[in-house]
A = this chain, B = another copy of it.
Amino acid sequence: MYAAMEKNKFDMKNKKVTAIDVAKLAGVSQPTVSRVFSSEGQSVSAEKRKRVEEAAKLLGYQPNVFAQSLITNKTRIIGIVMTNLHNPFYPEVLSLFYEKLSKKGYHVLFISSASDSIEEQEIHQFIKYHVEAVIVTDALLTSSAAELFERQNTPVIYFNRYSRNSRNHAVICDNYNAAFQIGNYLVESGHRNICYISGPENTSTTEDRRKGFLDSLRKNKLKPTVIVNGNYDAEESYRVAKQVLLEHPTIDSLFCGNDISAFGAMKAVTDLGKRIPEDISVVGFDDIRMARWPLYNLTTWKQPMEEMVEETINIMLDHIGNKLDSPTTKLIPGELIVRNSVKNRSSVD
């Protein structure tokens, strides 16, 4: 009680502890304190090092990052832009990024953009804070924003998007191949009337998935089946699926552009009195945690998040370190996760 008050009295001064305070207490010069805290094994005698460390701990000293950044020009801050927090895929990704970046001593400055392409103004925040790299998930920069970063030589890495004419790095799941495999899988398990509930048309991801899917049908000599556009969202997908199922009663399977739209579609199916997978098979895309909820048990394509995040960080570090700045695009394969939403209708086996 008394001790607490005492402490408070000191705290009223609200004076932050600086390297000078530590130096005084340890009986060394201020640069020596700095040397103890500069990560590398700087030359300072074991004895003084110990004295400094003790003094620092006693005072609760933490080097001031702003002073550090000012002189070193390094901020250890990474900017992450995320547009679509409503799709659980992205929080999962964010969490992974945080975990892996912080392990490497980086910090996450977070920007969430409501719109699909990021406002100039938001971008300025990143520039002001001298982020060492920018990771953009599920959105594209405006070209003027991209130019800004290029001018500052700040690497931009797209996660799960790319634009053909962009000079930025990108890490993506091999969407074309994934959709191709899913198409094959459905055909091989005896489906003949596949409906693809796609996402909005203007993204690379959606484009590639659509192409892969169509190519697999073509290979299997099936004529193109119904394709409708949702917006990667459960409610919209529910609406769309319901409608398409009514219009095309022969449909035996739904391939949905992502997991949450699959969830919406599943409800549409059961609302129409059909069963999954007995009457209609459903396949998703992403393999978010919810996909394995007993409620869904969704067969889906796993985007290997962990690997993708890892790769993104590697590219980032490579760029920051070696200044290798020829734009790299990394394709990660992923895999089909078979659960319980697809029935084998093939008579053969």
Q: In the complex, what residues of B have CB within 8 A of residue A271's CB?
A: 294
Does A234 make an interface contact (CB < 8 A)? yes
Closest to A106 in B: B125
A129, B62: Cα distance in complex, Å: 10
A88: Cβ under 8 A from any B Cβ: yes
Q: How far is the CA of A14 from the CA of B154 in the complex (A)?
A: 10
Q: Which of A89-97, A208-216, A308-316 contacts B (4 or more CB under 8 A)?
A: A89-97
Number of copies: 2
Contact B14 A153 (CB under 8 A): yes
In the complex the two chains form, is B95's CB within 8 Å of A152's CB? no
Q: Is A222's beta carbon under 8 Å from chain B?
A: no
Closest-CB distance, A105 to chain B (whole angstroms)? 9
Q: Kindly identify which residue among B67, B124, B150, B293 contacts A70, using a CB–CB cutoff of 8 Å.
A: B67
Contact with B along A178-202 (1 / 0, CB 8 A): 0000000000000000000000000
Q: Is the CB of B130 within 8 A of A65?
A: yes
A11 interfacial by beta-carbon distance below 8 Å: yes
Closest to A65 in B: B128
The residues of A with any CB-CB pair to B shorter than 8 Å are 7, 11, 14, 16, 60, 62-67, 69-70, 73, 75, 80, 85-86, 88, 90-92, 94-95, 98-99, 102, 107-112, 114, 122, 124-125, 127-130, 148, 150-153, 234-235, 238, 263-264, 266-268, 271, 289-290, 292-295
A-B contact pairs, 20 of them (CB 8 A): A60-B151, A62-B124, A63-B128, A64-B128, A64-B130, A65-B66, A65-B130, A85-B91, A86-B92, A94-B110, A98-B110, A99-B114, A102-B125, A107-B109, A234-B290, A235-B294, A263-B295, A264-B294, A266-B295, A267-B295
